[in-house]
Amino acid sequence: MHLLSVCLLHPWRIVLWVIIAVWFLKTSFSIRLLIDIGLKVYTHALSNNWDKARYWVQQIVRRDVYSLDKEHVLSACIESIAESLVDGTISPLLYYPFFGIFGPLIQRLSNTLDGVVGFKTPELKDIGWFSALMDSIINFIPARLTAIYIILSSAILGYNWRNALRIYLRDKRKTDSINAGHSMSAMAGALGVCLEKVGYYRLGDKFKTIEPSDVLKAIKIALLSTSIHMLIIAILLLVT
């Protein structure tokens, strides 16, 4: 109540608060960087410059891509596009209509901490479990929502949405993470490829070898999924 009265007495503070809120919201999600890296990977792979393609994929994945063959390099890129769509875009935006700028900020903080200490190594397992748990809880709904967006986007773009739905229902629980498999399995099905992290998971059926064009298709799906999500968020903001 005090904050409201202060804002009413000082209208310029409302303007300042709006500017700060917009800035915090903008910094809470990012699709451009991921897409830019994906396009670089696509361009270099298409021109058969695999050293540069591997360099850019290494920027968005934890595994050593320099030890992978070409198909697994492209797979790692597509997996990251699908998974990052959840925690980098869909999740932070989803919580904005309900909790204001604090929703996205808490989500990003949780995701960042999970990326730093949320590992099952002997050194980190005793301190990273809480951030990993919180990240899993916060991204639980967004991960499943993203899979729906991917299936819907693949239908709009003319990709194999039926296979996306089939693979999603079959493979969504094949990753150690309770969330990661949802968006990645839907993406694998939409593209008709097998996404694999050797020794950890294998999602989708290998109807064909992964090609650079599949990275471009994954980018298109991610962009359309983001657009659909932003439209829904805008509607929620109007009715709340």
Average pLDDT over the chain, rounded to an integer:
83
Query: Above 90 in pLDDT, residue 224?
Result: yes
Give me the mean pLDDT over the 196-209 stretch: 95
Q: Indicate the DSSP class of residue 48.
A: T
Task: Of 19-23, 41-45, 171-175, give the lowest mean pLDDT range.
Answer: 19-23
Let me know if residue 18 belongs to a domain.
no
C-alpha 32/C-alpha 215 separation (Å) is: 15
Residue percentage of the chain with pLDDT more than 90: 58
Let me know if residue 9 belongs to a domain.
no
Let me know if residue 173 belongs to a domain.
yes
Query: Above 60 in pLDDT, residue 180?
Result: yes
Give me the mean pLDDT over the 153-182 stretch: 97
Higher pLDDT, 2 or 85: 85
Q: Report phi then psi at 225, rounded to 5.
A: -60, -40
Q: Residue 140: which domain range?
A: 30-239
Please, which residues bridge with residue 197 across strands? 201
Let me know if residue 19 belongs to a domain.
no
C-alpha 148/C-alpha 197 separation (Å) is: 23
Sign of CA dihedral 153, 158, 162, 164: negative
Let me know if residue 137 belongs to a domain.
yes
How confident is the model over 184-193, as pLDDT tens digits? 999 999 999 9
Let me know if residue 205 belongs to a domain.
yes
**Angle at 59 (CA atoms; ends 54, 64), nearest 5 degrees:** 55
Least Cα distance to 219 among 41, 28, 26, 27 occurs for: 41
Give me the mean pLDDT over the 13-18 stretch: 46
Q: How many Cβ atoms from other residues are within 10 Å of residue 1's Cβ?
A: 5
Let me know if residue 21 belongs to a domain.
no
Instruction: Count up the domains in the chain and report the number.
Output: 1
Query: Above 60 in pLDDT, residue 14?
Result: no
Q: In terms of DSSP bridges, do strands 195-197 and 201-203 run parallel, antiparallel, or are they unpaired? A: antiparallel
Least Cα distance to 182 among 60, 80, 82 occurs for: 82
Query: Above 60 in pLDDT, residue 5?
Result: no
Let me know if residue 71 belongs to a domain.
yes
DSSP codes, 139-196: THHHHHHHHHHHHHHHHHTTS-HHHHHHHHHHHTT-SSSTTHHHHHHHHHHHHT--EE
